[in-house]
Amino acid sequence: MTVDADGPAGMADAQRVVTIPELSAPSYLQAVLSIAYRDERNSVPLTVATPAGLVFGNAVHPSAWLRGLGDQLRRLTAGDPGNESAASMADMFDDMADGRGDERPGRDIPVKDIHWIYFTDALVVPTAAGGPNYVEPACWQVALRDVTGWTIGLPPG
């Protein structure tokens, strides 16, 4: 905000710049998500609104999400034991998750660098009529830039 300053003679054209610090909604959400990002065992129950619909589930550490994604893929392909590419992909997710653990914690992620929400056991309620309704809990990744609203907690029921 810029304000004309009433200063001493000769300073009539001076301007004073006042900066008002303000956290934006994503900053608050990043702070909440930092709890999950600190430790793979942590999670935060979260509901977010996106242009595609509501997503609700447990926000987790990226490594926990990768492990969950591998498990999800194994469940989806359990009836097809000959699907070697799915098994390889699930193993790849596990290897990526193992890249960061107690022995190799990796670098801490600063709150300002959190740009994704990693959900496990998430459900999606689409906003578009006739959109797909996902009724099985699954792993979902949501970009913070796509979040239009959020709250801690899950819908009742």
Q: What is the pLDDT of residue 4?
A: 46
Q: What is the pLDDT of residue 73?
A: 86
pLDDT at 156 over 90: no
Q: How far apart are CA 122 and CA 54, in angstroms?
A: 10
pLDDT at 2 over 50: no
Q: What is the pLDDT of residue 17?
A: 62
Query: Would you say the C-alpha torsion 113, 33, 59, 131 has a positive or negative sign?
Result: negative
pLDDT at 99 over 80: no
Label residue 128 by pLDDT band (50, 70, 90): confident
pLDDT at 157 over 60: yes
Residue predicted with more confidence, 85 or 57:
57
Q: What is the pLDDT of residue 19?
A: 55
Entry pTM: 0.74
**Tens digit of pLDDT for each residue in 27-70?**
889 999 999 988 889 999 999 999 989 999 999 999 999 999 99
Indicate the average pLDDT of the chain: 80
**Tens digit of pLDDT for each residue in 131-154?**
667 778 899 999 999 999 999 999
